[in-house]
Structure 1
Amino acid sequence: MPGGQHTWQEIMSQPAAWQDALGAFRALREKFAAFWMEAAPDQVIVTGCGSTYYLALTAARLLRRSGVDASACPASELLLNIDAICAPGRRYLLLTLSRSGTTSETVRAQERFKSRVGASVITVTCASSSPLAGGADLAFAIDAAQEKSVAQTRSFSSMAVIVQQMAAQLAGRRLTDSSQLPAVCTQLLESHAGLARALAENAAIEKFFFLGMDALYGIACEAMLKMKEMSLSYSEAYHSLEFRHGPMSMVGEDSLVIGLISPEAARHEIRVLNDMADMGATVLAIAQTRIENHQTVRLPADLPGWCTPVLYLPVLQLLACHRALVKGCDPDKPHNLSAVVSLDDI
């Protein structure tokens, strides 16, 4: 393979990484429950940079569906505009997300939050000895999910497994349902590798659009970022029905429109895909049900919705990796990027 060996291996090793993530949460489950009860937050702020900001979007929605008042913001916003985000008189909890645990904005935002707000901090990272983990009151670390590649794949999804478990526990859901996730990931990667390759090799496709709602919007954004980073391709992410309000003007026979279909809004989201197909776009749906007239990546129908967001991503990671190789890009080393953004003056 001309480059991309690390990325490919990291994508394909996600089932094992997810197993490690489930174990990491299980080991701290009781401590997390006690910590949360003591913190008793009025509001949770979830923050990160790049991929982990998109994970923060998903995490905040999952927490809200669990009855927790939660919002997401980029770490740079929290660092530089904390007074506009944290109001006086409220009990906050900060959830920080970072693969390396050394991203400058996230580390500094966590420090600023603790000094200014004085509230509790939980971090999810892939580096247990990092400054972010050391500065948190409670740290979930999945060291085995760390990567050699610049673009996040298994690290993102493993951290997503942790935040799904956190939200599910707070809602009193049956956590054993998530034990199926590693096996389902294996099945998705094996069953749809050919589809991902075929779409990536389709020379008629020049634009990629990823559509998702609610917790899946953050996943759509992450899929968009993977396509940009790895293959330097035109890619955008939108809330599913918002796509009609202007962005669909870009759609034509040179477009692949990918719908991350949620159970709650499936009927409306499928109509969007139908409209895009009528405009000449190639359409791919990822859903827990079969979608008539469109290529579909089927997710298990018997899994509860709270543990499925992470399952929408692996096939799209494969798509981005294949597209990079088709274009002669090395997905291990994206153009102009490094694995960690370190800033001396922030």
Structure 2
Amino acid sequence: MIGFTEEEMRSKQAIHTATEITQQPEVWKELTASLSEQKQSLNRFIDSIYAKHNQVRVILTGAGTSAFIGDTLVPVLRRENKGNVQFDAAPTTEIVSNPEEYLQEDVPTIMVSFARSGNSPESVATVALGEQIINDFYQVVITCNKDGKLAENTKQDENAVTILTPDKAHDKGFAMTSSFTCMLITAHTLFTSKSFNEHVITAAEKLIESLPGSVREILNVDFERIVYLGSGMLGQLSHEAALKMLELSAGKVVALHESSLGFRHGPKSILNDNSIVVVFMSQDTYTRKYDMDILREVAGDDSNMKVIALTDKEDAEVSALADWTIPVTDGSESLSEDFHLALLYVIFAQTLALHKSLQLGITPDNPSPDGRVNRVVQGVTIYDYAE
């Protein structure tokens, strides 16, 4: 189990997190089979909304990790869809406090809510604001909890649909892992015409088996800071990767995310001798040029910091620059989209964060036993909104 026995994981209070990382290929199989059965009815629901209006806005929203699903997907969905459908992403934590900046009364809107529990106060409040402000309002709830408030609230609403992930994706650990990737796959399947590439599942199974060795080598470096970089959707994915390290290390590792090009514009100041930089390499030949440039730059830095490059397959040029190169496939099958790489790259980030948590003596299933942060956020007051 990611380099540990089940007994070790239980004793270290890491069994839920470890299981939820390693089970992802299996859960993806179950999820994609379920989505295939639902695809026609889901398409009818979405197409019927598109047919009613000349212009439709789709806003992808959630809190924390759930918000990063939308951020990661928007670049892909904008490219894949027609011009009369506008895709945006905004966290519920922003919408609730500033609804007029995000919700447009006269623009027909599909609100896509991503939620592990479906009980976060901001997520429930965002839907209520949508219903209150937007004239033509529709909902898609993508959640891991059939009993959550978001799912319950759609049952009698003909303008809403709830899509449930497999029960196993309702992570019991503090950090979202299976839930993140399953909701990512669900929304991608719903809003694109592409079927899920089964080779990703095989690649994930092999990656999970091979990662512990590389991660143990990386942990021989006593790093206190980590930076995740990428371009396009992989740059957005880097936010989730950094959050996993921040959460599971209980803040003991400073974790930053940035785009490959944006890193030079100030954030690079964070680097010191106790830093690791992780570059998520795109498979797109044009985009990859910019990833290679930042890889060369950080690899040539005159310090003791280390560099990790994640790439689709073995690449001699990348390996010559990085201290560790992690190819996420064996090269026998080509993964033609960064979306597929994102699912594999985030498994690395999850695994590294878990191992670092254990190295620091933290309990990954509950890295904040003092209650400073909680699995379902607490302490939020929702105020009435008067237009």
TM-score above 0.5? yes
- Name structure 2 gaps, 5 residues minimum: 1-7, 155-159, 383-387
The letter for the 2-side match of 1:340 is V
Q: Could you tell me how far apart the structure 1 residues matched to 2:19 and 2:187 are? A: 24
* Pairing 1:139-158 to 2, within 5 Å after superposition: 139-142=162-165, 143-158=167-182
Which of 1 and 2 has greater Rg? 2
* 2:342 aligned with 1:309: yes
Deviation of residue 39 (structure 1)?
A: 1.2
In the alignment, the residues of structure 1 paired with residue 20 and residue 14 of structure 2 have an alpha-carbon distance, to the nearest angstrom, of 10
- Which structure has more relative contact order (CA 8 Å, sep 6+)? It is 1
Paired position in structure 2 for 1:272: 294
Partners of 2:256 and 2:198 in 1: CA distance? 32
Q: How far did 1:297 drift?
A: 1.8
What is the aligned counterpart of 2:87 among 58, 66, 70?
A: 70
CA contact (8 A) 2:104 2:133 kept: no
Superposed CA RMSD in Å reads 1.7
Q: Equivalents in 1 of 2:240, 2:76: separation in Å?
A: 16
Report the equivalent of 1:47.
61
Q: Look up the equivalent residue of 2:227 and give its one-letter code.
A: F
- Partner of 2:280 in structure 1? 260
Q: Which residue of 1 aligns with 2:319?
A: 292
Cα distance, 1:255 vs structure 2 = 1.1
Give yes or no for contact 2:62–2:113 (8 Å, CA) kept in 1: yes
Q: Is the 8 A contact 1:286 1:312 kept in 2?
A: yes
Query: Is 223-232 or 304-313 further displaced after alignment?
Result: 304-313
User: Taking structure 1 as the reference length, what is the TM-score of the superposition?
Assistant: 0.93
TM-score (norm 2): 0.83
Note if contact 2:105-2:133 (Cα within 8 Å) is conserved in structure 1: no
Report Cα offsets for 1:182-211 as digits up to 9, x if no partner: 2211111112221122213422x2210001
Report the alpha carbon displacement of residue 242 of structure 1 after superposing the two structures with TM. Answer: 0.5
Q: Distance in 2 between matches of 1:210 and 1:299?
A: 16
Post-superposition Cα deviations, 1:61-97, rounded to whole Å, max 9, x if no partner, equal 2211212421111102222322221234322111110
Please give the secondary structure, in 2, of the residue aligned with 1:178: coil
Kept after mapping to 1: 8 A contact 2:277/2:306? yes
8 Å contact kept, 1:57–1:217? no
Equivalents in 2 of 1:63, 1:47: separation in Å?
14
Contact between 1:251 and 1:276, CA under 8 Å: does it hold in 2?
Answer: no
**1:325 corresponds to which of 358, 364, 367:** 358
Task: Give yes or no for the alignment of 1:24 onto 2:37.
Answer: no
Q: How much does 1:235 deviate?
A: 0.6
Q: Distance in 1 between matches of 2:192 and 2:216?
A: 34
- Contact persistence 1:20–1:144 (CA under 8 A): no
**Aligned residue runs from structure 1 range 172-321, under 5 A:** 173=194, 175=195, 177-203=196-222, 205-231=223-249, 232=251, 233-264=253-284, 265-279=287-301, 280=303, 281-289=305-313, 290=315, 291-293=318-320, 294=322, 295-300=324-329, 302-305=334-337, 306-321=339-354
What whole-Å deviation, never above 9, does each CA across 1:32-78 have from its counterpart, x for those lacking one?
Answer: 11111111152211110011111110122221121242111110222
Kindly indicate whether the alpha-carbon contact (under 8 Å) linking 2:279 and 2:291 is maintained by their aligned counterparts in 1. yes
SS in 2 for 1:183: helix
- Residues in 2 aligned to 1:112 and 1:23: alpha-carbon distance in whole angstroms: 34
Structure 2 match to 1:165: 189
Range with greater deviation from structure 2 (246-255 or 221-230) = 246-255
The alpha carbon displacement at 1:248 in A equals 1.3
Q: After TM superposition, which residue ranges in structure 1, 4 or more long, deviate above 4 angstroms?
A: none
Q: Structure 1 residues 42 and 5, CA, compared in 2 at 3 Å: closer, same or farther?
A: same
How far 1:343 moved relative to its partner? Answer: 4.8
Query: For 1:181 and 1:66, how far apart are their aligned partners in 2?
Result: 20
- Partner residue of 1:341 out of 367, 374, 377: 377
- 135 and 229 in structure 1: CA distance in 2 versus 1, 3 angstrom threshold: same
Deviation at 1:277, TM superposition (A): 1.6
Native 8 Å contact 1:95 1:121 kept in 2: yes
Offset from partner CA, 1:227-255 (integer Å, 9 cap, x none): 00101211110111110111112223311
Moved more, 192-201 or 151-160: 192-201
Match of 2:139, SS state, is strand
* Alpha-carbon distance between aligned partners in 2 of 1:126 and 1:149, rounded to the nearest angstrom: 13
Cα separation, 2, equivalents of 1:223 and 1:45: 23
Determine helix, strand or coil for the equivalent of 1:45.
strand
Aligned residues of 1:46 and 1:56 also touching (Cα < 8 A): yes
CA distance in 2 between partners of 1:78 and 1:152 (Å): 22
Partner of 1:115: 132
One-letter amino acid of the counterpart of residue 120, structure 1: Y
Q: What are structure 1's unaligned runs of at least 5 residues? A: none
Q: Which amino acid aligns with 1:316?
A: A
Q: Match of 1:337, as an amino acid?
A: V
